[in-house]
Amino acid sequence: MKRRDRNGEIWDFEQEMSSISSRDGVILGLDGGTTSTVCICMPLMSFSQKLPEPLPILARAIAGCSNHNSVGETAARETLEQVMAEVLTKSNSNRSAVRAVCLAVSGVNHPTDQQRILDWLRDIFPKHVKLFVQNDAVAALASGTMGKLHGCVLIAGTGTISYGFTEDGREARAAGAGPVLGDWGSGYGIAAQALTAVVRAHDGRGPQTALTSSILDILNLSSPDELIGWTYADPSWARIAALVPLVVSCAEAGDQVANQILHDSVKDLAESVKAVVRRLGLCGEESFYTYQDVPGASFLLHIDRHEDKKMNTEGVPIANGMDPFPLVMVGGVLEANKRWDIGNEVIKRICESYPGVHPVRPKVEPAVGAALLAWTFLKKESEAKPAT
C-alpha cells in the first residue's frame, strides 16, 4: 500500500505497531464543534447482529476547535489530523486498519466545504477507506438514532443548528449560521443578549436587571462600561457563551429581563426545528379537518391558535400531520439539569404544532454517532452486494 503521508511525524507511531487491535478493522468517528473536537475509534461490528450495548469504544481523543470559520483552515486541518492520529495510537491501531472515517465538523455548510475536506482526507488514508464528511449536526442526530438518518436534531451549545432527514434521503437545515447571521437561540446568543441588557440598563435604554451585578461580579469588573473592553478583547464565541448558566440563575431568581431572554431563545430554537419539520413533512402529510369531524377537536383548536395554523380555501383549518418523528436534543443549553429547563420548553412549543415529536436525549456522544453513520453505510453496502 502506498502511503500518502503529508505530515510524517504525526503518523510515525505506525511503524512501531506490531499488531492491529481489531481483526476486522476499525472505524473512526469525529465530532468537531466550535468549542472542542472529539474523535473515537471503534472496532467494525458485525452487520448481522444487533448493536452491542454498551458499544465497544477502543479509544477517545480530544482536541480544540476545528471549525474553519472560527480558527482558519490550516489550524482546523492540523487539529483534525492530530486528533485522528492520537486516537489510532491510543487504540494500538493504524491507518491500514481503518475501514471508514466519518468527520462531522461544524462549519461544513456547502458542498465546496465538504469537498475540500474530503480531498485532504483522501491524501491521508489508503484508497479503500470509505470517507464521509458531514456537518456536526448529522453526527448528533445519529447519536440519538444509533446511526439511522431519520428525524430531526436540535443542537444548542455555543452555536445552534437544526438538521433533519427523511427516510427517503431528503435533508434540510435551519439556523447554524453563527452569531452574525442571527443564531439568537444559541448559548452565544443568550449570553450576548444578557450583556446587551446590562449595557442598556446602564445607559438608560432598558430596564434595570439582576444580570448587571451577576455578570460584573463573575467577570471581576467594576462598571458596565468595562464590559465593552472585555467583550472585544477576545473574539472567542465560547467565552461569551460560558455566561449562560448565570443568565439561567438570574431567570430562576425571578429577574424579568433574564426570563425574557430565555423565552426568546426558546422561541428561536423551536422555530428552527419547526422550519425543518415543515419543509421535510416529517410529521406526515398535512390533512384537512373540520372541528365537527375530528375526535379531540379542542386540541386541534389549540393548534389552530399558533403560527402554523393554515386554512383551506373554505376557511376550514388544516392541521399538521400527526406522524411521530424523533427529535434528538444535544448541547449545554438544552440540558435538563436546571429548574428553568430550556430544552423542555422548546419541546412544549414544538409539540403545540407537531404533536408527533418524540424527544430523544442521546446516550452516546456525537463522535460515536459519527462512527455509527459510517458503520450504517458499510452495512448497507454489504447488504447490497450479492452473497458470496
Write down the least CB distance from residue 13 to a copy of itself, Å. Answer: 35
Within residues 272-291, the interface with a copy of itself by CB under 8 A covers 272, 275-276, 278-279
137 lies in the site for a copy of itself, by CB under 8 A:
no
Encoded amino acid at 347, one letter: I
Write down the least CB distance from residue 369 to a copy of itself, Å. Answer: 22
37 lies in the site for a copy of itself, by CB under 8 A:
no
Write down the least CB distance from residue 177 to a copy of itself, Å. Answer: 5
Q: Which of 123, 84, 85 is nearest to 104 (CA)?
A: 84
Q: Which of 71, 58, 130 is nearest to 106 (CA)?
A: 71
349 lies in the site for a copy of itself, by CB under 8 A:
no
Phi-psi region of 147 (alpha: psi -120 to 50; beta: other; left: phi over 0): left
Q: Which residues lie below 8 Å from residue 108, measured CB to CB, with a gap of 6+? A: 114, 117, 133, 134, 135, 136
The Cα 202–Cα 231 span in angstroms is 16
Q: Which stretch binds a copy of itself (CB under 8 A): 56-64, 89-97, 224-232, 287-295?
A: 224-232
Q: Which stretch binds a copy of itself (CB under 8 A): 75-83, 198-206, 257-265, 372-380?
A: 198-206
How do 98-105 and 317-319 pair as beta strands?
unpaired
For residue 367, give the H/E element and its range. Answer: helix 366-384
Within residues 52-71, the interface with a copy of itself by CB under 8 A covers 69-70
Write down the least CB distance from residue 225 to a copy of itself, Å. Answer: 5
200 lies in the site for a copy of itself, by CB under 8 A:
yes
Measured over the CA atoms of residue 329, residue 148, residue 271 and residue 110, the dihedral's sign is positive
199 lies in the site for a copy of itself, by CB under 8 A:
yes
Whichever of 3 and 205 has its CB closer to a copy of itself, that residue is 205
Write down the least CB distance from residue 371 to a copy of itself, Å. Answer: 27
Options 48, 54, 169, 181; binder of a copy of itself; rule CB under 8 A: 181
Encoded amino acid at 241, one letter: A
174 lies in the site for a copy of itself, by CB under 8 A:
yes
Whichever of 220 and 388 has its CB closer to a copy of itself, that residue is 220
Burial 352-361 (b: 16+ CB within 10 A, else e): bbbbbbebbe
Options 123, 225, 323, 381; binder of a copy of itself; rule CB under 8 A: 225
Residues 335, 364, 186: CA angle, nearest 5 degrees: 35
Q: From the CB of residue 123, how many other CB atoms can be counted at a distance below 10 Å?
A: 10
Options 271, 345, 352, 365; binder of a copy of itself; rule CB under 8 A: 271
211 lies in the site for a copy of itself, by CB under 8 A:
no
Q: Which stretch binds a copy of itself (CB under 8 A): 8-16, 42-50, 178-186, 354-362?
A: 178-186
Options 14, 78, 113, 264; binder of a copy of itself; rule CB under 8 A: 113
Give DSSP secondary structure letters for 270-281: HHHHHHHHHHHT
Phi and psi at residue 340, to the nearest 5° = -85, 95
Contact in structure between 54 and 68 (CB atoms under 8 Å): no
The Cα 161–Cα 189 span in angstroms is 12
24 lies in the site for a copy of itself, by CB under 8 A:
no
Q: Which residues lie below 8 Å from residue 70, measured CB to CB, with a gap of 6+? A: 34, 107, 237
- Tell me the three cell numbers of residue 182: 442571527
Strand partners, 61: 39
Write down the least CB distance from residue 259 to a copy of itself, Å. Answer: 18
195 lies in the site for a copy of itself, by CB under 8 A:
yes
Q: Which stretch binds a copy of itself (CB under 8 A): 173-181, 245-253, 339-347, 351-359?
A: 173-181
235 lies in the site for a copy of itself, by CB under 8 A:
yes
Options 240, 283, 364, 378; binder of a copy of itself; rule CB under 8 A: 240
Options 28, 175, 241, 373; binder of a copy of itself; rule CB under 8 A: 175
Name the site residues for a copy of itself (rule: CB under 8 A).
69-70, 109-110, 113, 172-182, 192-193, 195-196, 199-200, 203-205, 223, 225-229, 231-233, 235, 240, 271-272, 275-276, 278-279
